[in-house]
Structure 1
Amino acid sequence: MIHQLEPNDFVKAADVLSGLAEWNVYVTAVLQQTSPGRIYVDNPEQPSSVFAISIDCAYLAGNPHNDNFNAGVTQVLEATLFAGDRVNPADPELCICVDSPAWEPTLADILSHWRWPPIWGANNHYTFAQPRLNWRDKLPAGYVITQLNTALLAMQGNQLPPTIADSIRIGWQNRENFLQNGFGFVALHNDEIVCTCLANVTVGEKCEIGIETVPTHRRLGLATAVTAATVDYCQQAGFTHIGWHCGQDNPGSIGTAVNVGFVLERPYNFYSFYYDEPRHYAELGRIYFFDAQLYEEAVDMLEIAIETDEAPPAYVYFLAARALAHLEEPVALDYLQEAVAAGFKDWELLQTLPEFAAYRDNPDFPKQVS
Structure 2
Amino acid sequence: MIRLKLEQFSQAVPLFAEMAAWNVYVTAVLHQTTPGRVYIDNLDAPRSGFAVSLDCAYLVGDPENAAFNQALKLELAETLLAGDRVNPADPTLTVCLDSPDWEPALADILGDWRWPPIWGSNHHYLFKAPRLDWRERLPAEYTIVRLDGKLLAAQGDRLPQNIADSIRIGWQDETNFLQNGFGFVALHGQEIVCWCLADVTVGDACEIGVETVPAHRRCGLATAVTAATVEYCQQAGFKRIGWHCGADNPGSIGTAVNAGFMLERPYNFYEFHYDEPRHYAELGRFYFFEAHMYEEAADMLEIAIEVDESPPAYVYFLAARALAHLEEPVAIDYLQEAIAAGFKDKELLETLPEFIPYRQKPKWVALWATSP
TM-score (norm 2): 0.90
Structure 2 vs 1, CA of residues 353 and 230 (structure 1 numbering), >3 Å: closer, same or farther? farther
Match of 1:28 in 2: 27
Structure 1 CA distance, aligned partners of 2:103 and 2:197? 31
State the AA in 2 paired with 1:52.
Answer: A
Match of 2:56 in 1: 57
- Unaligned runs of 5+ residues in structure 1 are none
Structure 2 vs 1, CA of residues 201 and 310 (structure 1 numbering), >3 Å: closer, same or farther? same
Contact 2:28 2:34 in 1 (8 A): yes
1:20 deviation in Å? 0.6
Match of 1:265 in 2: 264
Deviation track 1:210-255 (CA, whole Å, cap 9, x = no partner) reads 1222233322322222212211221121111111111212222112
Match of 2:300 in 1: 301
State the AA in 2 paired with 1:248.
Answer: A
Structure 2 CA distance, aligned partners of 1:162 and 1:347? 35
Structure 2 vs 1, CA of residues 155 and 205 (structure 1 numbering), >3 Å: closer, same or farther? same
Structure 2 vs 1, CA of residues 242 and 74 (structure 1 numbering), >3 Å: closer, same or farther? same
1:45 deviation in Å? 2.9
2:67 corresponds to 1:68: yes
Identity %, equivalent residues: 70
Structure 1 CA distance, aligned partners of 2:327 and 2:156? 52
Structure 2 CA distance, aligned partners of 1:134 and 1:352? 47
Structure 2 CA distance, aligned partners of 1:189 and 1:344? 38
Three-state SS of the structure 2 residue aligned to 1:243 is strand
Structure 1 CA distance, aligned partners of 2:173 and 2:228? 24
Structure 2 CA distance, aligned partners of 1:342 and 1:315? 9
Structure 2 CA distance, aligned partners of 1:229 and 1:366? 55
1:157 deviation in Å? 1.1
Structure 2 CA distance, aligned partners of 1:268 and 1:138? 32
1:300 deviation in Å? 1.6
Contact 2:107 2:115 in 1 (8 A): no
Structure 2 vs 1, CA of residues 146 and 40 (structure 1 numbering), >3 Å: closer, same or farther? same
State the AA in 2 paired with 1:320.
Answer: A
TM-score (norm 1): 0.91
- Aligned residue pairs total 368
2:245 corresponds to 1:246: yes
Contact 2:204 2:240 in 1 (8 A): yes
Structure 2 CA distance, aligned partners of 1:225 and 1:335? 48
1:79 deviation in Å? 1.0
Structure 1 CA distance, aligned partners of 2:51 and 2:165? 23
Structure 2 vs 1, CA of residues 359 and 141 (structure 1 numbering), >3 Å: closer, same or farther? farther
State the AA in 2 paired with 1:63.
Answer: D
Structure 2 vs 1, CA of residues 8 and 325 (structure 1 numbering), >3 Å: closer, same or farther? same
State the AA in 1 paired with 2:315.
Answer: V
Match of 2:120 in 1: 121
* Superposition RMSD in Å: 2.5
